[in-house]
Amino acid sequence: MRNILILFTALVIGFSLAAEEKKPKIAVMEIEDKSGRIDKEFLENAAEALRAELIATDKFIVISKDRQRKAMIKGAKKESWKECYDQSCRIELGQALTADNILSGIITYFGKKYTLSIEMIDLAKEATIKGASADFDATEEVSIAKAVRETIAVVVGVASKRINAVQSVDGGQGESKYASMVNKEKREKEKLDAAWAEVRDIALDRNIPKEKRVTVLNEFLNDFPKNNDHEEKAEELIDILDDDDEPEMVWAQKEADEKRKGTYEYSLLEGTEWFAFRIEAGSHGGGGMLSFFTLRWKWFYWEILRGGGAYGGPGLLGSSAFYGLAGGSFGVPIRFSNVLEHEMRLGVGFYGGAMNIETGEGYSSYSYEGLASMGLEIGYVWHISKCCSLHGGLETYLSLWPHWDPTAIMVFVGMRFR
């Protein structure tokens, strides 16, 4: 009985070895990137995926990568075994490995699509006996893995155990229902980003007429009406081009302005003066004004609120006068060459309140009032530091209604604080 068991075991081992010997040997070559867009690590991973799928079919003896590398360096005398891309070199390498077949792969890029093409070469015939190709997304490894499985299934003529396992889960689609949803969103996002990159390059190309650039931007917005992360930027470009400006020049100016904020130069040219006061003297006696929130730009200023009064003077044509006014003013700064510390301001203001002047004496006296007035100002500003300025000049308060008689002419001096 013992002898029978030994004989049976020997027969099983013999048949197994014979079956193993009947399996053709195959060497998997490195994948050649003819697109010039794929990094080496991605290519190496794809080649390893090809090797793993072939092993999973259980139809080949797959020669190891280390053995291929040693044969390449020793036989072909190359510095790197990855340099063997042409067919004659690969056939020579396969023969040196005593392989029956070699499997080679090529990645191409055409029509905005990446394609993996593989072919099996019979070394005895030195001819391609089978081939297959599949498109994939180079930004996702799951996509190239799916392309590898599909092409191997076609070339080998049988699905590997791994392919069958995937099909049993998702019906042969290569990914689950939920992964499909996520990947679809990712693909849509990548499609949007790729389209935006192309559209943006066109929008910034000065050699293309601005009208055509605007048309391309509008078409982009129409093609991607929902969940468009680039919508705001596209509309900004349209506005810039419609204003007959160049986007890069506008952006450069904005960037320069942002960098300038907080600098000493910016404090002299722009920014807000939060508070100011002035002491006034003239036709209506002496007094003062307080100002709040003066917004300044390079060529314009707006003093939002000013209020105050004066008392004790005779007025222009009377014996006594006073005023109490509140309102706002605006105007333009005039700067002296490149000396930013000095400027002249020409302003106009509109005020409400009481202006009064009395003329004559006794029974011959008259009182005139003004309830609405306009101010005309010319002043000199000396920016003595980043936070404050000295301000002096001349202002006329013209009574507009109901009488012009209370009109006042005043000189002033004061400080402004930023």
Domain boundaries defined on the chain: 20-175, 181-258, 265-417
What pLDDT does 114 receive? 86
Instruction: Quote the pLDDT of residue 274.
Output: 93
b/e 94-133 (16+ beta carbons within 10 angstroms → b): bbbbebbbbbbbbbeeeeeebbbbbbbbbbeeeeeebebb
Burial track 327-363 (b if 16+ CB lie within 10 A, e otherwise): bbbebebebeeeeeeebebebebebebebbbbbeeee
68, 33, 29, 252: which is closest to 76 by C-alpha? 68
> What angle is formed at CA 305 by the lines to CA 296 and CA 339, rounded to 5 degrees?
25
Fold held by 265-417: Porin (2.40.160)
**b/e burial code for range 216-244 (CB count within 10 A of at least 16 → b):** bbeebeeebeeebebeebbeebbebbeee
Q: Do the domains spanning 20-175 and 265-417 agree at the CATH topology level? A: no
Q: Are strands 101-110 and 25-28 parallel, antiparallel or unpaired?
A: parallel
**pLDDT averaged per 10 residues in sequence order, the chain, 418 residues:** 52 48 82 83 83 84 80 53 63 80 87 85 84 82 80 73 43 51 72 85 86 88 83 87 83 72 68 92 91 90 94 78 92 79 92 83 59 92 88 92 84 94
Domain 20-175 fold: Rossmann fold (3.40.50)
**String of DSSP letters for 302-354:** EEEEEEEEEEEE-TTTSSEEEEEEEEEEEEEEEEETTEEEEEEEEEEEEEEEE
Predicted confidence at residue 169, as pLDDT, reads 40
pLDDT value of position 171? 43
Confidence at residue 134, expressed as pLDDT on a 0 to 100 scale? 87
Rounded (10°) angle between helices 141-156 and 177-203: 110
pLDDT of residue 82: 43
